[in-house]
Amino acid sequence: MRESMRGPVGGERLAAWPPVNIPLASRLFVERRDEGDWALDRWASGWWLSRPSPKRQAMRRQQRFVAQVVALGETLHGLSQTELLAQARAAAERAFVTGQAQAGVRALALVREAARRTLGLLAYPPQVYGAWMLVSGHLIELDTGEGKTLTAAIAACVGALAGVPTHVITVNDYLAQRDAQKMSALFGYLGLRVGVVHSGVAQALRHVEYAQDLTYCTNKDVVFDYLRDRVNARGVHSRAQLTVRRLHGQVHSQEPLRLRGLHFAIVDEADSILIDEARTPLILSAAREAGEETRAYEHLLRVAASMQAPLHYRLVEPHRQPELKDEGRALLEDLAREMDARDEHDGDTGPDALMGFWRVAWVREHYIVQALRALHVFKRDQHYVVHEGKIVIVDEFTGRLLPDRSWEQGLHQLVEVKEGCKISGQNRTLARLTYQTFFARYLRLSGMSGTLREVSRETAGVFKVRTVRIEPNRPSRRVTLPPRLLPDQPTKHHAIVDDVRERLAVGQSVLVGTRSVRASEDISAALTAAGVPHQVLNARQNADEAELVARAGQPGMVTVATNMAGRGTDIPVAPEVLARGGLHVVLTEWHESARIDRQLVGRGARQGEPGSCRTIVALDDEVIDKHGGTTLKMLQARYGGGPWPEHAMAWLQKAAQGAAESHNAAQRRHTLKADHHMRTQLAFSGATE
């Protein structure tokens, strides 16, 4: 068994299949072993794997490979289904295991022919080459609208035909079901069984779905199913050992293990899953009853509300995280002494007795900081919404509701009390894992997104995978209109209304992108006051998301939406709108990452269609206010409230987003380091996650 193999094109070195030191037949968890958290190793891998290839050389390589696939495909029309399937299995196995270019050409040509027969879709050159890069274990940057669904399906077919359990991982339930259904005819023609795992699939049936040749699933579900397997088989390292222990009653859970291992993953919206969601560890927990904790949390909030800034605490930028000062700690110590004295005097049972944390300094300080976060950091309609009497977290990057998630360490309960909701019990942690650690365990990891170049060094350092840019099938015809920087929110809203009216007057449809629910509602109110009909898509109105998005490209349509990144639903633009300039996208606020801005702008002018975009931001936008720093002060001193030249706006944008992304990257590194440290301690004690 070789430790490495030559890449299919360009001489890249790929991970061997299967990697050395992993006895597949005996190990219970078939996966790549953790390599540790070495900063120097991450830096070296990131530098080496993120080196860009010369564009001309990369284009020649892509064209040469695709030309061979197309030429071979012309000779396959006369094959019967049986002949095609037999040849596809043999070629797929050679291509996946050896990485030989010629085997890849044949495997892709055969699967491409099957897609033509079943779906009526003949994969374009970017889709063909993108599929091969996925099979080879790369991340690919493929522009919005270039056909990621078919690209992933072709690559998944090659993996599954090679006999490798394949996971196609998407960002939400809708996309997992939709993509599996759209490609079902192709999979059936090739004799492949397809499983689908999402929040609606019963827990007892999930092992059946993962047992299929390939499985479409969401990132959240696959990680939590993996953690459940780890908890159910804690301390067991082989299937034989698990069977013996179950026979002797030494394993409490009789639930069958769900996953067959982490073999081959194709991650859709890879930057969203691998980067944006990597700042928070995923925690498998068991709910506990709330009991009498409500009074304790109410007391915490009262104490936190009585504290004064900057006397007792300060809010540390850029995310205004509370930090206690010596005066604040002294105040808490005085309160703790008063409670002890009161309890000794009359035996009163207050919230301190219920929780038992006031007598321990670090515990009371932790909960007070959480209470300060609940009061001053987490904002309604931005970080969460109140839905049917419950606190529901809003995904910061996609604007989606996350009803099955909760904040840990008392924060969720404190926000519930703050909003007058029924309190839920704190959860008992059973297992935890970060996305970085989980996805790095796949024997072969690949993924795709429209925006990956900005994070190529980080993904290379953490996951040891190279990012490849796939050029679009047709050149972009997007028209970028001059950006505008306004002094405040009211002025910005007025400018947005004017821009929308101007685009409607020429016959374009308009998509207005916002960062938060509240921002979308503010702009909606401005459009309503101006008499402009429109539809709103945010965390409050997401039930008919696909239908709302499908209408966004129709004549006269204006859609106000929270961050469209990762929604994965195409916006079909009506012919009469295309004739008048296509879909017009308005970016109303810079995001913390320039990738998210590009994702929003990429909703228009797809596949060589006409389209336009304009950026309209204000100096009091959150990202500018928090991260502008000295650059903002210097430019304000020179240009005042505006108008600013484009180069000054570009300078401010780069400075603000650079500072925000640096902070987020540091947070991801801290999360990964903490996860590695915790796993090291658990391994030392003989436990697992």
Q: Report cis status (omega within 30 of 0) of the bond before 490.
A: no
**28-74, pLDDT tens digit by residue?**
678 887 765 555 565 566 655 666 666 777 788 889 999 999 999 99
Q: Residue 272 — pLDDT band, cuts 50, 70, 90?
A: confident
User: What pLDDT is stored for residue 639 in this prediction?
Assistant: 87
Q: Cβ(476)–Cβ(605) under 8 Å?
A: yes
* Lowest mean pLDDT, pick from 145-154, 168-177, 220-229, 320-329: 320-329
Q: Is the dihedral of CA 566, 567, 570, 574 positive or negative?
A: negative
Give binding residues as ranges: 127, 145-149, 570
Mean pLDDT within 528-542: 84
Question: pLDDT tens for residues 396-407?
Answer: 666 667 777 788
Confidence of residue 615 (pLDDT cuts 50, 70, 90): very high
Report how far residue 384's alpha carbon sits from residue 48's, in angstroms, rounded to the nearest whole number: 40
Q: CA 360 to CA 660: how far, in whole Å?
A: 35
Which of 272-286, 491-505, 631-645 comes out lowest in average pLDDT?
A: 272-286
- List of domains in the chain: 37-284+434-469 (3.40.50.300), 289-425 (3.90.1440.10), 482-645 (3.40.50.300)
Radius of gyration (C-alpha) of the chain in whole angstroms: 27
In DSSP notation, 19-88 reads: PTT--TTTBSS-SPPP----HHHHHHHHHHHTPPPPHHHHHHHHHHHHHHHHHHHTT-TT--HHHHHHHH
pTM to 2 decimal places: 0.79
Helix, strand or coil for residue 104?
A: helix
Top-confidence range, 157-161, 470-474, 603-607: 157-161
Question: Taking the C-alpha atoms of 171, 176, 179 and 180 in order, what is their torsion angle to the nearest 10 degrees?
Answer: 150
Which pLDDT does position 12 carry in this prediction?
39
Question: Is pLDDT at 547 greater than 90 in this prediction?
Answer: no
- Provide the annotated binding site for ATP: 127, 145-149, 570
Q: Quick count: other Cβ atoms within 10 Å of Cβ 259?
A: 24
Residue 354: band (very low, low, confident or very high) from pLDDT cuts 50, 70, 90: very low
For 571-582, how does the pLDDT look when each residue is reduced to its tens digit (9 = 90+)?
Answer: 899 999 999 999
Cβ atoms of residues 453 and 587 within 8 Å: no
By DSSP bridging, strand 610-618 and strand 477-480 are: parallel
- Helix (H) or strand (E) segment spanning residue 314: strand 313-316
Q: What separation in angstroms does the CA of 373 have from each of 174, 337, 415, 421?
A: 33, 25, 9, 17
